[in-house]
Structure 1
Amino acid sequence: MRRELTAKGRATRHRIVEGAAEVLREQGVGSVTLDDVLARTSASKGQLFHYFPGGKDELLLAVAEFEADQVLEDQQPYLGCLDSWENWQRWRDQVVARYEILGDTCPLGSLFLQVGRSTPGARAIVAELMRRWQESLAAGIHALWAASGRSAEFDVDARAAALLAAIQGGVSILLSTGRSDHLRAALDQGIADLRRDLTPQARAVTPG
């Protein structure tokens, strides 16, 4: 159980995690040492082990959690307001741009390779990231469904899960090949399917 920290303690811990994330992005996970993190953050070794008694492995998990938050933060403000087709398109462009900038590297993926995806802490971070991401997509789909006036049943959660799975497939291919074609196709097809199913039908006009 993580102990409660003072405001100053939270700020110091965050500074160490943020600095470690910067170093890991620049140098790669495998070559980074605790001394590199200390030099970047101006923290003492005593401070580092106070906040991360498990040493490097615990710090890497904290950085992975930070990077998971960054995945969602980089999609804002559009991920939080997917209530129009224009915002869905802007969100799509933002997702593509983010992963094109990363190219065939991914800080979060590299961290999980180092700490092991099967470790309980890593699995929990991935599960929480996917849950929050899917919930945001579901909220956007629900807003469009409500605005469509459709009375037929529509499985919002299943559609959000399918779209997220398609995105992850596209990202995996991008990380393997450096090409964003599949990610673009996954997003474009997913949004097109939603638009087809959720565009309000024209009301029939009865001759007067």
Structure 2
Amino acid sequence: MTADTPTKRLTARGAKTRERIVDAAADLMYVRGIGATTLDDVLAASGASKSQLYRHFANKDEVVRAVIVRMGEHVIQREQNALGRVSTMAGLRRWRDALVQNNALRHGAYGCALGSFASEVADHDDIARATLQALFSEWNTLLTAALKRLQENGALPQDAPVDELATGLLGALQGGYLLAQTAHDVTPMATSIDMALAHIQGLSAR
């Protein structure tokens, strides 16, 4: 069972109420942060009553866990769509451009949802941390698969450490999100990813 899985079967009406609560909480927590979002805020934004909220969630931690799963689904689906057919350096750069341009629309504000949530919950909620770890692992696997396709096409040497390169690229992306969020400027994010991609391309040149 994931953190977003109800413990009992819901009616259609109950499922819609739960979904409305999670969606409202996700929007608030992404923009304000988890710590600055109260359950009263979630109730006001979702239009749910306290009895409805507590029918689905015992406490705020359970709401947060459901939000992480929901946001994780969105992020991983986006990355599957973006990385699923990448097999060239040009494809990786298009992936980079889409992420940077999307973040530029917010002037770098809010950062990556998964990275922001990890910074708030990883040290005090092992269930949420494990969910985030699994999501980052899945993201890393998508990057590794893309780099392996570059190998198959001859764009990377066969001895290139694709697992480590994927981890480094994901780290550059997450660090770039944080720097952009702090500066409210997407330039540090673009620079971070570009440095990682330059390293990857440099392996091919050698």
TM-score range, shorter chain: 0.7 to 0.9
* Larger RCO (CA within 8 A; separation ≥ 6): 2
**Deviation of 1:111 (Å):** 4.5
Letter in 1 for 2:175: G
**d(CA) in 2 for partners of 1:50, 1:70:** 25
Gaps of 5+ in 2: none
Letter in 2 for 1:57: D
**d(CA) in 2 for partners of 1:153, 1:110:** 34
1:193 is matched with: 199
131 and 30 in structure 1: CA distance in 2 versus 1, 3 angstrom threshold:
closer
2:44 is matched with: 39
112 and 131 in structure 1: CA distance in 2 versus 1, 3 angstrom threshold:
closer
1:130-166 deviation digits (Å, cap 9, x = unpaired):
1011101001000110111877423211111111122
12 and 162 in structure 1: CA distance in 2 versus 1, 3 angstrom threshold:
same
Letter in 2 for 1:168: Q
Contact 1:52–1:58, Cα closer than 8 Å, also in 2: yes
Letter in 1 for 2:29: L
CA RMSD of aligned residues (A): 3.1
10 and 117 in structure 1: CA distance in 2 versus 1, 3 angstrom threshold:
farther
Letter in 2 for 1:96: V
**d(CA) in 2 for partners of 1:160, 1:114:** 24
**d(CA) in 1 for partners of 2:122, 2:159:** 41
158 and 114 in structure 1: CA distance in 2 versus 1, 3 angstrom threshold:
closer
148 and 72 in structure 1: CA distance in 2 versus 1, 3 angstrom threshold:
same
Identity %, equivalent residues? 31
150 and 62 in structure 1: CA distance in 2 versus 1, 3 angstrom threshold:
closer
Letter in 2 for 1:172: L
1:49 is matched with: 54
1:184 and 2:190 equivalent?
yes
1:80 is matched with: 84
1:19 is matched with: 24
12 and 84 in structure 1: CA distance in 2 versus 1, 3 angstrom threshold:
farther
Letter in 2 for 1:98: N
1:68 and 2:72 equivalent?
yes
**d(CA) in 2 for partners of 1:26, 1:167:** 19
1:58-98 deviation digits (Å, cap 9, x = unpaired):
21222233233333344462122222333212210122123
Bigger drift between 87-96 and 139-148 goes to: 87-96
Contact 2:65–2:127, Cα closer than 8 Å, also in 1: yes
**d(CA) in 2 for partners of 1:183, 1:23:** 24
Contact 1:57–1:115, Cα closer than 8 Å, also in 2: no
**d(CA) in 2 for partners of 1:151, 1:90:** 21
Bigger drift between 114-123 and 183-192 goes to: 114-123
1:122 is matched with: 128
How many residue pairs align between the two structures?
199
1:135 is matched with: 141
**Deviation of 1:109 (Å):** 5.3
Match of 1:77, SS? Answer: helix
Bigger drift between 25-34 and 9-18 goes to: 25-34
1:29-67 deviation digits (Å, cap 9, x = unpaired):
4454333323333333223112212x2222122223323
**d(CA) in 1 for partners of 2:46, 2:155:** 53
Contact 1:61–1:115, Cα closer than 8 Å, also in 2: no
